[in-house]
Structure 1
Amino acid sequence: MKLIECPRDAMQGLPEFIPTATKTAYLNTLLKVGFDTLDFGSFVSPKAIPQLRDTAEVLAGLDLSATKTKLLAIVANLRGAETAAQHPEISYLGFPLSVSETFQRRNTNQTTAEALADVATMHELCERTGKTLVTYLSMGFGNPYGDAWSPEVVTDFTQQLAALGIHIVALSDTIGASTAATIAPLFSALIPAFPAIEFGAHLHTTPTTWHEKVSAAYQAGCRRFDGAIGGFGGCPMAADELTGNMATENLLAFLAENGLDSGLDSAAFAQARAAATGVFAFH
């Protein structure tokens, strides 16, 4: 099972700016844990997400000399993708493609058709620069806008991504709308239908619903999970204020419960968890 730690998602909505040195120190602690991938920052407009305006400076301060963890940066447009692609330390670019037309316009100021065209160009850019594009299907389990959603809609989006040659697709529960009853059928249908794609789960959850969500995705064949220590972060549009990122601790508990090895350094994880408490204590 691949564990993707997402401090970027945990930090991005915080109103008080976290000093660059604090961010860098925290990320360096995470790099010692052994995660498959670290979603560390975002090359987007500083006006849109001021918290991440220092991503390039943070990247320059990361110690990558003794880590197996790969770096992922989120981008919102071609300009951001081109900037991120200039950094050889970054392995993955992540782009949010929304199943909801309304959310695509709100998130990246595009139609979904325009975003899909950008995905094609970003994929070509990644191929040229030795990187891999991770496409997040945001609002992948439903949306609050009344836009059409069904397993067939998600399958249609995935088909278009498969035709472009996209290798990684993460179904993203942007507002915590998913349930075991929606998660299981989606992964059960998509994973065998698109064997060339690695599917991931970026789930948002309340403290009481995490287990059923992880179990449903895992039992349906998903082996790539995003999490954030402490469950920090999440979408500000979620109706329930307790809805946040999937807590990494819960993912580890699920693995332990099922006799599965996380592959993480437990001592380093404990240090990272303690460090997270300090980083997010006043937010």
Structure 2
Amino acid sequence: MPPEVGLPSRHRVPGLPERVTVYEVGARDGLQAEAVPVPTAAKVRMIRELLAAGLPMVEATSFVSPRWIPQLADAPEVVAGLAEAGLDLARHPVLVPNDRGLDRALEAGAGALAVFVSATETFARRNLNMERWEAVEAAQKVTERGALEGRPVRGYVSMVFGDPWEGPVAPGQVAEVARALLDAGCYEVSLGDTIGVGTPGHVGAVVDAVVAAGVPRERLALHLHDTYGQALANVYAGLLAGVETFDASVGGIGGCPYAGSATGNLATEDLLWMLTGLGVETGVDLDAAMRAGLAVTTLLGRPSPSRVVQALRPN
């Protein structure tokens, strides 16, 4: 029998951050496209287990129209469940698409918010039913109102590295939108590779363009999909570019329901394995995160797509 595999050996690479933040999106982005209904209690349990594993931020849900995403129709109940558990709701942002979503989130007692826009025109029309800059202006209004209500707001930019209808996206186009979210008051802007077409050099070029537009590196995050197997390579490029926050979804679940070529998010377990090997601190217990992810994929009735889970828990 081979020896039991533990954590990878640590080998620091000069120039990389000593510590990064893993921003967990599984309960929202991971579940939003799932057809199998997940009970509210299971969602709350998932979030609590991820928090207990050491993840500092666990995005909870989205206050989108239930007609758009039935899986997240229980958003008020999820927030209520977290509050009943005595959790700090500022560590569990909720995504809001518009003023109506913000109204519902505030009524439910949400403690932190997230808004999203598109770097491209076509995706903005298909996803948000608005022109690109109309969507940016709507997100700015939500952000400004959220700030007045004392809720920190995170911004997402979708289709940063490519769009299935428009093709390649100019880094400068991304930079304009990212800067607009920052100026509106977002404390952080997450750059999303919605269809997973980014490669390491592209990541560096986009980060440099956004920073040149006036967005500090420390206020940037990367949200990477693994459609073409590039997510971890792109994380490494992001680390070299000075990014210190990375979005991930436990078990690698999720994808964008409005972009047919978008497959699963970067698996939290795979990200943690690589960061551990690089000697980059996260404060997250890999084994505990893995257990939380297995509970979710079991509930969904399929094996985890995480390569680390497949290696360490083959059965």
Which of the residues 155, 163, 167 maps onto 1:143? 163
Partner in structure 1 of residue 202 of structure 2: 182
Q: After superposition, where does 1:51-70 map in structure 2 within 5 Å?
A: 51-62=71-82, 64-65=85-86, 70=91
Give distance in 2, aligned partners of 1:213 and 1:238. Answer: 21
Partner in structure 2 of residue 165 of structure 1: 185
Could you tell me the percent identity over the aligned residues?
Answer: 34
Give distance in 2, aligned partners of 1:220 and 1:197. Answer: 11
Looking at secondary structure, tell me which structure has more strand per residue. Answer: 1
How far has the Cα of 1:207 moved from its partner? 7.4
Residues 89 and 99 from structure 1, CA distance in 2 versus in 1: closer, same or farther, beyond 3 angstroms? closer
- SS of 2:181's partner is helix
1:203 correspondence with 2:224: yes
Which of the residues 94, 97, 101 maps onto 1:80? 101
Partner in structure 2 of residue 18 of structure 1: 38
How far has the Cα of 1:130 moved from its partner? 1.4
Residues 54 and 88 from structure 1, CA distance in 2 versus in 1: closer, same or farther, beyond 3 angstroms? closer
Cα displacement string for residues 83-123 of structure 1 (whole angstroms, at most 9, x for unaligned residues): 213444522x1122001111111112111222122122112
> Could you list the runs of 5+ residues in structure 2 that have no partner in the other structure?
1-19, 304-315
Give distance in 1, aligned partners of 2:158 and 2:225. Answer: 11
Which of the residues 137, 142, 147 maps onto 1:122? 142
Please give the root-mean-square deviation of Cα atoms over the aligned residues, in Å.
2.4
Partner in structure 1 of residue 9 of structure 2: none
Give distance in 1, aligned partners of 2:208 and 2:277. Answer: 22
Give distance in 1, aligned partners of 2:166 and 2:228. Answer: 26
> Could you list the runs of 5+ residues in structure 1 that have no partner in the other structure?
none
Give distance in 1, aligned partners of 2:179 and 2:299. Answer: 40
How far has the Cα of 1:166 moved from its partner? 3.0
1:232 correspondence with 2:266: no
How far has the Cα of 1:72 moved from its partner? 1.1
Which of the residues 29, 34, 48 maps onto 1:28? 48
Residues 68 and 156 from structure 1, CA distance in 2 versus in 1: closer, same or farther, beyond 3 angstroms? closer
How far has the Cα of 1:45 moved from its partner? 0.5
Matched residues, number: 280
Partner in structure 1 of residue 312 of structure 2: none
Residues 208 and 111 from structure 1, CA distance in 2 versus in 1: closer, same or farther, beyond 3 angstroms? closer
Q: What amino acid is aligned across from residue 70 of structure 1 in structure 2?
A: R
Residues 220 and 204 from structure 1, CA distance in 2 versus in 1: closer, same or farther, beyond 3 angstroms? same
Q: Is the 8 A contact 1:229 1:247 kept in 2?
A: yes
Give distance in 2, aligned partners of 1:113 and 1:210. Answer: 28
How far has the Cα of 1:135 moved from its partner? 1.4
Q: Is the 8 A contact 1:204 1:244 kept in 2?
A: yes
How far has the Cα of 1:41 moved from its partner? 0.5
Residues 117 and 46 from structure 1, CA distance in 2 versus in 1: closer, same or farther, beyond 3 angstroms? same
Give distance in 2, aligned partners of 1:196 and 1:88. Answer: 31
Give distance in 2, aligned partners of 1:115 and 1:24. Answer: 30
**Larger of the two Rg values belongs to structure:** 2
